Amino acid sequence: MSGGVDSSVAALRLRDAGEPIAGLFMQNWADDGSGDCRAEDDRRDAVAVSGRLGVPIHFRDFSGEYWAGVFEHFLAEYAAGRTPNPDVLCNREIKFLHFLSAARELGAERIATGHYARVAHRDGRWRLLRARDVGKDQSYFLHQLGQAQLAATVFPLGDMLKADVRAQATAAGLPTAGKKDSTGICFIGERDFRTFLGRYLPAREGEIQTPDGRAIGRHPGVFYFTLGQREGLGLGGVRGHAAAPWYVVDKRVDENVLVVDQAHDSPWLLSTVTRTESAHWVAGTPPAARFEALAQTRYRQTAEACEVEVADDGALTVRFARPQRAVTPGQSLVLYDGDECLGGAVIAATDAPRTGSPSAVGALSG
């Protein structure tokens, strides 16, 4: 019970189906004074919903586990010039590990969350499927789950549209019916990103350069930016260049240089081959050593056709049928067979062309 509308309706549906349920509210971030921490508001909402539904609610503090299992990795990735995806780690390390363990200690057989995804058991194994509401589908963030977690998980909203979730909450008189969806960093929430990150990673100002090495501005710290980003560069009109937007095309961390170009589909952002770290498979093993699939390299991206090759160490080489824009090291590449999520891995590098020195982030070697 997060205090949001999705977990509220998940609980409502289970209660109405006659399931014996209890709520569990998790505290996962100790307020550091860096922004608007809404944990207490969320806690009050979770208590109010539980009272409305007539179900008991429990509380657990996993802030230490969150720091060690998610946030330290988050900081290390940014310091290395990569762009991490904390939602994936939140699910693997907190919601489907510590939350599941706490639920079992309380006597529960299964856990339920407000995620938009579906679980099915076919041909002797558990499968993770996309939600009916394609625009809200969260299977991308759940790709690190395995057979044990899926066997113990229920997604009551998997067959619902978001509009119907809110309508059901309203009809039931739930106090979270009109509550805005949470955004921002997983469990940390909305706050000024640069100010927040600067509390943990001191900024080092450096040059903004064009791909040919011409300095055209200054940046406050390369780790504040990600590939393909347009906002926040602070570049106005640049002499000798058209009055068009600039996009981040490279982060040369060793030189503290941010590289930008003006084309949205700049050739410096395009790649057809992606290599990953060792992959996780929902089934426990890959479908084959080589196979065709659909892949997403970011959330809400249209899945793209690709060929996947699995190395002996579990790393993937993924060749796309058409060029991909701004495939970003540190993010997740997630594989699908139709609606079924097969698994995925952290992106390590691509064959996007290099800028400047061999230290450029994202370049393939070998």
Taking the C-alpha atoms of residue 363 and residue 350, their distance in angstroms, rounded to an integer, is 6
Mean local confidence (pLDDT), 247-275: 94
Q: Supply the DSSP string of 124-186, one letter for each residue.
A: TEEEEEE-SSTTT--GGGGTT--HHHHHTEE-TTTT--HHHHHHHHHHTT-TTTTPPPP-SBT
Q: Does residue 323 lie within any of the structural domains?
A: yes
Q: Does residue 24 lie within any of the structural domains?
A: yes
pLDDT at 171 over 90: yes
Taking the C-alpha atoms of residue 25 and residue 27, their distance in angstroms, rounded to an integer, is 7
pLDDT at 2 over 50: yes
pLDDT band at 32 (very low <50, low <70, confident <90, very high): low
Catalytic-residue membership of 90: yes
pLDDT at residue number 360: 40
With pLDDT > 70 as the criterion, what percentage of the chain qualifies?
Answer: 93
pLDDT at residue number 334: 98
Q: Which residue has the tokens 């299964």?
A: 110
Same domain? For 60 and 152 the reply is: yes
Q: Supply the DSSP string of 259-283, one letter for each residue.
A: EEES-TT-GGGEEEEEEEEE-EETT
Q: Does residue 321 lie within any of the structural domains?
A: yes
pLDDT at 185 over 80: no
pLDDT at 292 over 60: yes
pLDDT at residue number 188: 60
pLDDT at residue number 168: 97
Same domain? For 227 and 99 the reply is: no
Length of the chain: 366
Residues 37, 90, 306, 341: which is the catalytic one? Answer: 90
Same domain? For 33 and 176 the reply is: yes
pLDDT at residue number 358: 44
Burial of 31 (0-12, 13-18, 19+ CB in 10 A): middle
Same domain? For 56 and 123 the reply is: yes
Burial of 334 (0-12, 13-18, 19+ CB in 10 A): buried
Same domain? For 307 and 283 the reply is: yes
Same domain? For 295 and 203 the reply is: no
Domain boundary among 244, 261, 278: 261
359 backbone φψ class: left, alpha, beta (φ>0; ψ -120 to 50): alpha
Whether 316 and 333 have beta carbons less than 8 Å apart is answered as yes
pLDDT at 274 over 90: yes
Same domain? For 176 and 322 the reply is: no
pLDDT tens digits, residue range 129-166? 999 999 999 999 999 999 999 999 999 999 999 999 99
CATH no. for residue 303? 2.40.30.10
Same domain? For 127 and 174 the reply is: yes
pLDDT band at 187 (very low <50, low <70, confident <90, very high): low
Same domain? For 280 and 169 the reply is: no
Q: Higher confidence at residue 59 or residue 28? A: 59
pTM: 0.91
Q: Does residue 22 lie within any of the structural domains?
A: yes
Whether 255 and 359 have beta carbons less than 8 Å apart is answered as yes
pLDDT at residue number 239: 76
Mean local confidence (pLDDT), 111-121: 97
Mean local confidence (pLDDT), 39-47: 91
Q: What is the mean pLDDT of the chain?
A: 91
Domain boundary among 181, 216, 251: 181
Q: Does residue 366 lie within any of the structural domains?
A: no
Residue numbers of the domain that contains 306: 267-350
Taking the C-alpha atoms of residue 141 and residue 285, their distance in angstroms, rounded to an integer, is 19
Same domain? For 18 and 163 the reply is: yes
As for how many domains the chain has, the answer is 3
pLDDT at 190 over 60: no
Mean local confidence (pLDDT), 188-215: 82
pLDDT tens digits, residue range 5-25? 999 999 999 999 999 999 999
Mean local confidence (pLDDT), 228-241: 84
- Max Cα–Cα distance, the chain, nearest Å: 69
Same domain? For 142 and 240 the reply is: no
- Reference 99, options 59, 45, 145; nearest CA is 59
pLDDT at 189 over 80: no
Least confident of 155-159, 194-198, 252-256, 344-348: 194-198
Mean local confidence (pLDDT), 52-78: 93
CATH no. for residue 176? 3.40.50.620
pLDDT at residue number 56: 97
Q: Does residue 357 lie within any of the structural domains?
A: no
Buried b (16+ CB within 10 A) or exposed e, 168-206: bbeebebbbbebeebeebbbbbeeeeeebbbeeeeeeeb
Taking the C-alpha atoms of residue 270 and residue 325, their distance in angstroms, rounded to an integer, is 5
Specify the DSSP element, H or E, that contains 188. Answer: none
pLDDT at 243 over 90: no
Taking the C-alpha atoms of residue 279 and residue 276, their distance in angstroms, rounded to an integer, is 7
Domain boundary among 181, 207, 242: 181
Same domain? For 30 and 131 the reply is: yes
Q: Does residue 325 lie within any of the structural domains?
A: yes
Q: Is 93 helix (H, G, I), strand (E, B) or coil?
A: helix
CATH no. for residue 200? 2.30.30.280
Whether 347 and 328 have beta carbons less than 8 Å apart is answered as yes
Q: Does residue 146 lie within any of the structural domains?
A: yes
pLDDT at residue number 361: 41
